[in-house]
Amino acid sequence: MPTEAQRVTDNRGAADRGLMERLVSLCKRRGFIFPSSEVYGGLASAWDYGPLGVALKNRLRDLWWREMTQLHDNIVGLDASILMHPQVWQASGHVDHFTDPLVDCRNCKSRFRADQVDIAGPCPTCGKTELTDPRQFNMMFRTHLGPVEGGGTEIYLRPETAQGAYVNFKSVQQSSRLKVPFGIAQVGKAFRNEITTKSFIFRTCEFEQMELQYFVHPDDADRWFEHWRERRFDYYQQLGIRAAKLRLRPHADDERAHYARAAEDIEYEFPFGWQELEGIHNRGDYDLTQHMTVSGKDLSYLNEETKERYVPYVVETAVGLTRTVLVALLDGYAEDEVEGESRTVLRLHPRVAPITVGVFPLVKKDGLAELARDIEEELRESFATFYDQGGAIGRRYRRQDEIGTPFCVTVDYESKDDDTVTIRYRDSTEQERVPRSELVAKVRAAMVEYARPEEGD
């Protein structure tokens, strides 16, 4: 099976590589994402989500969950365990097919993906011409269940969340009394021993997936595939991702995963080129049939009305939550000029931004700090807020711009007299005076009406 990394061709070109470096630096400086175990020098391709990063990730997760479960009466959730019976991965084909072809350098022991080096040429690390022939390398992480190494059961960390939904298909269907078509949505960690782990959080060994398995009658699979492809493509634009940065790309016959009858990627134009954000797959009855064969358990479905018994097809939508975080950050990142000064701004959709409203007193004295605190405490019932009384007001705005806070409320002397405040909009930097009593409604409306300014506006 070609892995995602293999399917992607290196299509770098005019792309802005500096953007990635600036973003990585911003993420570290402002507490979005830190290198893992940095005090020990870090761990390749592992990242920790700091206070703002976890807030952003949770927002993207919650929006996906709402979109994929709450808005449907026939899609339910599941949280299957990461560790599963080893036969799951035998049946799913991952033990035999989930491989990357790798070469090793006999001299310095560096390891490379065979399709990314000249295997007859010198080692990119040490320069000696000592590369081995390509060998298939399974990408699943293996470990042991039980206290004795070698004495217990060899198991795997799951490389996708999907299998949890297949092996629970019958339990979910019967306990929830669902009729086909219906879906099982799941968010959770997945692990792949990836060799190509550059590009920040784009491809990591430990990541989170958000997957829907939608079980349909085989005759309806093509229709549902199109339905979900369109719906998922539109979804990113609702999140505020620029349409020009998104495209759909059908897989060629030779790049589809072993389970897929049809596959199409939603791609985003990253600074290193167009690459997969989400995959939509028609997995046919491959997975359920495999689990029926290997487990000996019946996973077919009976239509009570027509009395037809069949193995449903699965239409899957599969996206990396952590990759969505990267897309939100990259797509939002902008540098512009405000009153002759350059600023960095994250144009995140207000529903995505980690903090929705910043609240500042113009000055700390004369009771303004107390009033601003009071307003912030009221707003935090409805929104994620941040109170800041330190430094010049312009600098406080910039600090919020840089982390994507769409609205800032400032409390000034007039506020004491007439119970009004100013609300300042991140993208336009315009300010508006509003009665305190209308603040919650005003922010809510601005969130609903939000439209990102066109480039150059």
232 binds ligand GAP (CB under 6 A): no
162 binds ligand GAP (CB under 6 A): yes
Q: Which is nearer to ligand GAP, 319 or 328 (CB)?
A: 319
89 binds ligand GAP (CB under 6 A): no
Of 274, 263, 273, 258, the C-alpha closest to 318 is 263
Q: Which is nearer to ligand GAP, 189 or 442 (CB)?
A: 189
State which amino acid sits at residue 302: L
Taking CB atoms, the residue at the shortest distance from ligand GAP is: 320
113 binds ligand GAP (CB under 6 A): no
For residue 100 the two structure tokens come to 């990357």
165 binds ligand GAP (CB under 6 A): no
158 binds ligand GAP (CB under 6 A): no
Q: Which long-range contacts (CB under 8 A, 24 or more apart) does 153-158 make?
A: 153/86, 154/86, 155/83, 155/84, 155/85, 155/86, 156/83, 156/84, 156/86, 156/89, 156/94, 157/82, 157/83, 157/190, 157/191, 158/82, 158/83, 158/84, 158/189, 158/190, 158/191
Q: Smallest distance from the beta carbon of 326 to ligand GAP, in angstroms?
A: 9
Distance (Å, whole) CA 267 – CA 245:
8
- Applying the rule CB under 6 A, the residues between 135 and 154 that interact with ligand GAP are none
Out of 173, 186, 209, 400, name the contact with ligand GAP by CB under 6 A. 209
Stretch touching ligand GAP by CB under 6 A, among 11-19, 127-135, 203-211, 403-411 = 203-211
Distance (Å, whole) CA 236 – CA 418:
42
Out of 207, 228, 333, 397, name the contact with ligand GAP by CB under 6 A. 207
188 binds ligand GAP (CB under 6 A): no
Out of 183, 320, 354, 358, name the contact with ligand GAP by CB under 6 A. 320
186 binds ligand GAP (CB under 6 A): no
323 binds ligand GAP (CB under 6 A): yes
Q: Where are the alpha helices (DSSP H) in 278-320?
A: 286-295
Distance (Å, whole) CA 149 – CA 147:
7
Q: Are strands 313-320 and 206-216 parallel, antiparallel or unpaired?
A: antiparallel
Q: Smallest distance from the beta carbon of 234 to ligand GAP, in angstroms?
A: 17
Ramachandran angles phi, psi of 230, nearest 5°: -65, -45
CA quadruple 111, 117, 121, 124: dihedral, nearest 10? -60
Q: Smallest distance from the beta carbon of 322 to ligand GAP, in angstroms?
A: 5
Contact by Cβ (8 Å): 347, 241: no
322 binds ligand GAP (CB under 6 A): yes
278 binds ligand GAP (CB under 6 A): yes
Q: Smallest distance from the beta carbon of 278 to ligand GAP, in angstroms?
A: 5
Q: Smallest distance from the beta carbon of 132 to ligand GAP, in angstroms?
A: 24
For residue 346 the two structure tokens come to 């994250």
Residues of this chain that interact with ligand GAP (CB under 6 A) are 4, 160, 162, 192, 194, 203-204, 207, 209, 211, 276-279, 316, 318-320, 322-323
